[in-house]
Amino acid sequence: MTALRGFCWYSAVLVQMISQLSAGFPWGRWVDDIADGENKVMGVYVSVVVVVLITCVYVVIVKSQRRNGRELRLPPGPRGLPLIGNLLSLEPNLHVYFEKLSKIYGLIIKLQFGMKCVIVVSSSSLAKEILRDQDVNFAGRDRPVALLALTYGWSDIIWGHSDQEWRKLRKICNQELLSNTSLDSCYALRRKEVRRMVKDVYGMINTPINVGEQVFVTILNVVLSMLWGATIHGEERINVGIEFQRIVTGMNELVLKPNISDFFPILARFDLQGFDKEANKLVREMDQIFHSVIDQHLKLDKENNEHREKSGKDFLQFLLELMEKQDSKTRITIIQLKALLLDVVAAGADTSITTVEWAMTEMMHNPEVIRRAQEELDQVIGIHNVVEESHMSKLHYLNAVVKETLRLHPGAPLLVPHCSIASSIVGGYTVPKGSRIFVSAWAIHRDPEAWIDPLRFQPERFLGSDDDPLKKYDYRGNNFDYIPFGSGRRVCVGINLAERMVIYVLASLLHSFDWKLPEGTKLDFKDTFGIVLRKTTPLSAIPTLRLSNLHLYEENMPC
């Protein structure tokens, strides 16, 4: 009778939870994501399906959990309901929620998201075990179902499995597409867009502007310019950029929506919330853009090709040349080409945009920091010149500002989730095969045992003497107290691109303009969890002129 009462109670709870999928999830800002449109009618159908399933699954799950608890030493964590697990207790800002749990249960914890075992690690030593010591085993990706279409069948680098094709694509990116040599060759494209940004801000002088929006437009244009250079022009270029922005935004929002197919894979084939349908629609729209640009690119005559070589070689040109190669070790398919173009946007745009906005926010909150940064800019560049990328290596304090920004506001606070290929031991606990692994860079970067006064924005911590280990911290995860782009074989492939763009854009904004808050406004440091850690409230600031020579605000300034 006890088992029967437990089963009936559990069934009622489960039906209630599934019904909430149509009426609103108790997960803060996720409510509307699941409850909109035609998904409201899915509640009853899903309830019936799941109640039937639990008849078969309930006993198996309970017995399995009891057996595993006796045989395996799993990490500690909050207890959850069978099958549902901890889904009902989740909070919108997962990075903050996980940090709260780590203070209760320890630096490695286990949660259950439906049928998915989730492991969260919040210390540098455990991150090292996962990202370096057992790199091979944790090189898998736990991939949201909606991404199958959005990544062209896992044909990209960010979400693709660590197999031979993945290694080939990563090598192509590292050695040919995103290498320093390749990025140098398309500097003219980046410079043009940054100079356009300076001109646009000059046109809005002494009026409040949305800094994040301005940076978003600029960096997206920089990335698109590097993707296909001078292939399209004028109004068509603007329209393609707007459409591309809309599609990418839709993709990012879709990936963030809670998908019942991820929590209960047995239901994935039914696409109960219509995510697959929406993802395929976005991919078709993206394909139209890609094929249109590729067709135009291929139709360029020899004269235009020569002109493009002089103005800067774009990424599409690199990739089309790789498609023509006979060597299978470097040749790519059209599917891989499109997947790589999407990766460039994800690796080079999103993180760069949010980092610039967070850096500006922190600097305006700390006037001494912005004063020192501008003094350095005046010393290195002068007040009669414009910022060039060649100046970046000499801007030591501004580089420290960017490092400190990424420490407090890492672009991906939980990195991209890893997946355990086989069961293994981490920190003395068993991590089951197929677990979703979150490495909390956000918590590691705020660890008081690794950082003095960790919540304080202090770029000087990265400017020690030559023998100071902090000065040697880089973005490539060589020290596990600082992993804004991950580490190991899954370290972000777009580091070179992001590093160049963030410092170049930030230096241009600070060198050309002074910044102040609109009267009566205050800085807001609240963040919103997502693929990247965005500011909840966009930064609004008023630019004023710093340079007396107004020609320095023109778009077509000579190098």
The two three-digit tokens of residue 493, written as one number: 């492939």
**Known binding site: residues?**
492
CB 211 within 8 A of CB 523: no
Report how far residue 21's alpha carbon sits from residue 40's, in angstroms, rounded to the nearest whole number. 7
The model's confidence at residue 27, banded by pLDDT at 50, 70 and 90, is: very low
Torsion over CA: 384, 386, 392, 398 (sign): positive
Report how far residue 447's alpha carbon sits from residue 246's, in angstroms, rounded to the nearest whole number. 37
Which string of DSSP letters, residue by residue, matches 55-84?
Answer: HHHHHHHHHHHHHHHHH--PPP----BTTT
pLDDT digits (tens, 9 = 90+) for 31-77: 344 444 444 445 545 554 554 555 455 455 555 555 555 567 999 99
pLDDT value, residue 313: 66
Section 100-114 average pLDDT? 96
Within a 13 Å sphere around the CA of 350, how many CA atoms are in the beta-carbon half? 22
Report how far residue 290's alpha carbon sits from residue 302's, in angstroms, rounded to the nearest whole number. 22
In a domain, 44, yes or no: no
Section 453-471 average pLDDT? 81
pLDDT digits (tens, 9 = 90+) for 397-444: 999 999 999 999 998 999 999 999 999 999 999 999 999 999 999 999
- High-pLDDT (> 70) share of the chain, %: 82
| This model's pTM is above 0.75 | yes
pLDDT value, residue 509: 97
Q: Which residues face 514 on adjacent strands?
A: 544
The model's confidence at residue 130, banded by pLDDT at 50, 70 and 90, is: very high
Q: Per mean pLDDT, which range of 3-17, 381-395, 462-476 is the poorest?
A: 3-17
In a domain, 124, yes or no: no
CB 533 within 8 A of CB 92: no
Q: Can you give the CATH number for the domain in which 269 is found? A: 1.10.630.10
pLDDT value, residue 311: 52
Check residues 193 and 372 and name the one with the higher pLDDT: 372
- Under DSSP, the state recorded for 118 is E
A 10 A CB-CB count for 394 gives 12
In a domain, 48, yes or no: no
In a domain, 364, yes or no: yes
CB 146 within 8 A of CB 254: yes
477: alpha, beta or left? (left if phi > 0; alpha if psi -120 to 50) = left
Report how far residue 436's alpha carbon sits from residue 419's, in angstroms, rounded to the nearest whole number. 5
The yes-or-no verdict on residue 2 having pLDDT over 90 is no
pLDDT value, residue 1: 46
Report how far residue 417's alpha carbon sits from residue 255's, in angstroms, rounded to the nearest whole number. 13
24: alpha, beta or left? (left if phi > 0; alpha if psi -120 to 50) = left
Section 127-143 average pLDDT? 95
In a domain, 468, yes or no: yes
CB 333 within 8 A of CB 172: no
Section 222-228 average pLDDT? 82
pLDDT value, residue 23: 40
Mean pLDDT of the chain: 84
The yes-or-no verdict on residue 371 having pLDDT over 90 is yes
In a domain, 186, yes or no: yes
Q: How many structural domains is the chain composed of?
A: 1
A 10 A CB-CB count for 392 gives 18
Report how far residue 175's alpha carbon sits from residue 263's, in angstroms, rounded to the nearest whole number. 38
Place of tokens 């020579």: 549
A 10 A CB-CB count for 238 gives 12
The two three-digit tokens of residue 30, written as one number: 């996720």
Helix (H) / strand (E) element for 121: namely strand 116-121
In a domain, 269, yes or no: yes
Report how far residue 398's alpha carbon sits from residue 382's, in angstroms, rounded to the nearest whole number. 15
- High-pLDDT (> 90) share of the chain, %: 50
Section 492-504 average pLDDT? 91
In a domain, 103, yes or no: no
pLDDT value, residue 33: 43
- Under DSSP, the state recorded for 273 is T
pLDDT digits (tens, 9 = 90+) for 272-319: 889 999 999 999 998 998 888 888 888 764 556 555 555 556 888 888
**Known binding site for heme: residues?**
492
**Interacting residues of 293 by C-beta distance below 8 A, sequence separation 6+:** 228, 231, 232, 240, 316
The yes-or-no verdict on residue 85 having pLDDT over 80 is yes
CB 532 within 8 A of CB 350: yes
Outline where 155-231 has alpha helix (H): 164-172, 180-185, 187-202, 211-228
Section 443-456 average pLDDT? 96
Which string of DSSP letters, residue by residue, matches 295-359?
Answer: HHHHH--HHHHHHHHHH---HHHHHHHHHT-S-TTT---HHHHHHHHHHHHIIIIIHHHHHHHHH
Section 123-146 average pLDDT? 95
Range of the domain at 351: 150-553
